[in-house]
Amino acid sequence: MKQQKIDIIITDDHKLFRKGIKAILSDFEFINTIHEAGNGKELIDLLGSLKKLPEIILLDLKMPVMDGMEAAGIIKKLYPDLKIIILTMEDDEQIILHMINEGVNGYLMKNAEPEELEKALQMLLSHEFYFADNISNLVLSNIHFKRKLELKLNYNLSEKEIEVLKLICKEFTAGEIADKLSLSVRTIEGYKGKLLEKTGAKNMAGLVVFAIKNEIVIL
């Protein structure tokens, strides 16, 4: 089956970096239109002017006028279904966890290889979240340290909801989870919606962090 082509926006205040990423993205067969923005305000203005919204935004954190943190918060309120990958040199655990809690779908370092960028974009389309191994390790170390100081809450998750959550953490798609549990995709989407509602997570990435914090999965 032919892969669907997607539109994407690169948001970074360094023109040379944007051009370099654009050249890399142009080599990916599943990329259609590539837009550019120089800061968060330009990005939001661009989104408001487009007839067709992109599927994914690549977003730097440190930019003039409006940084990526502020822009991500605004975008997730205006366009909650838009997927955002943070593409930055910031590897601070607190910033990463804050951005996940804000609802971003992925976090990738600027020194990543082109192959990893391609993998990240494809994972976002099929699994809704992506974190590079080094980012996952930073997040995990932070969570493991802090959760000893936190009281775990009772979120009243059913056995089936916990089962679905564990499979989400293993990077199964809704279709794969449906096949594994002999349920319909629609039913699995219903479980995912309930999980988001009960845990307060904003997306699948947030659900994974919730599952680790509450020791529903041990990674």
Q: Mean pLDDT over residues 138-142, rounded?
A: 60
Please give the Cα distance from 10 to 88 (Å, whole number).
Answer: 12
pLDDT band, residue 219 (cuts 50/70/90): low
Residues shown for the chain: 219
pLDDT of residue 143: 54
pLDDT of residue 150: 44
Q: Mean pLDDT over residues 115-122, rounded?
A: 94
User: What are the pLDDT digits (tens) for 12-57?
Assistant: 999 999 999 999 999 999 999 999 999 999 999 999 999 999 999 9
pLDDT of residue 139: 61
User: What are the pLDDT digits (tens) for 59-103?
Assistant: 999 999 999 999 999 999 999 999 999 998 987 778 888 888 788
User: What are the pLDDT digits (tens) for 100-118?
Assistant: 878 899 889 899 999 999 9
User: What are the pLDDT digits (tens) for 175-212?
Assistant: 999 999 999 999 999 999 999 999 888 888 888 888 87
**pTM exceeds 0.95:** no
Q: With a cut of 50, say whether residue 149 has pLDDT above it.
A: no
pLDDT band, residue 145 (cuts 50/70/90): very low
| Structure tokens that stand for 18 in this block | 């944007």
